[in-house]
Amino acid sequence: MIEGMRMDLKKSRYMNFDELYLYCYFVAGTVGLMSVPVMGISPESKATIESVYNAALALGIANQLTNILRDVGEDARRGRIYLPQDELAQAGLSDQDVFDGKVTDKWRNFMKSQIKRAKMFFGKAEKGVTELNQASRWPVWAALLLYRQILDEIEANDYDNFTKRAYVSKTKKLVALPIAFGRSLVSPSSRKLPILGKA
């Protein structure tokens, strides 16, 4: 995690997703991994320890990717771009397009692919939450559902993450909490939970 903080001091571009993934792993994936012993794994869980840790890692990556997509405009004003350079180029976009901050069809298409990948990591993370100790499941489910909704808000803002900061309203937060609580009641032994695209 400390190495990830150091990266922020010396690196402001990421050539591809492999580089970005490593950054996300350092600054957020490690938090997910360190949280597993604190949260605890349910005695009823039949999952491998590796799979639970992989899910925790995926949640950290998903959260950090969400931060990056939410904060594109804010980061650009600081001269930083946390988006894969090769994927920007493939979409017909450049650093200057990010700095100019104009929502175009190219930008929308690019953002759709970035959001899809972040949601894929949230999907991987879901598989591990049910394996945690029951007391830990509700806050983790709540965090997962609420953070994933930030991606929905970016979509609702027509992919304008240059001038609009995507956030989840208090009403939506209140709606998500009982959903998270309901999911937290599902024990590992009875888990047959559909992965939802939106909470």
**pLDDT tens track of the chain, all 199 residues?**
999 899 888 899 999 999 999 999 999 999 999 999 999 999 999 999 999 999 999 999 999 999 999 999 999 999 999 999 999 999 999 999 999 999 999 999 999 999 999 999 999 999 999 999 999 999 999 999 999 999 999 999 999 999 999 999 999 999 999 999 999 999 886 555 444 444 4
Sign of CA dihedral 150, 156, 159, 160: negative
Give the count of beta carbons closer than 10 Å to the beta carbon of residue 113. 11
Q: Is 160 left (phi over 0), alpha (psi -120 to 50) or beta?
A: beta
Instruction: Retrieve residue 179's tokens.
Output: 């959903």
Q: Name the CATH superfamily housing domain 2-190.
A: Farnesyl Diphosphate Synthase (1.10.600.10)
Domain segments of the chain: what residues? 2-190
Read off the pTM. Answer: 0.90
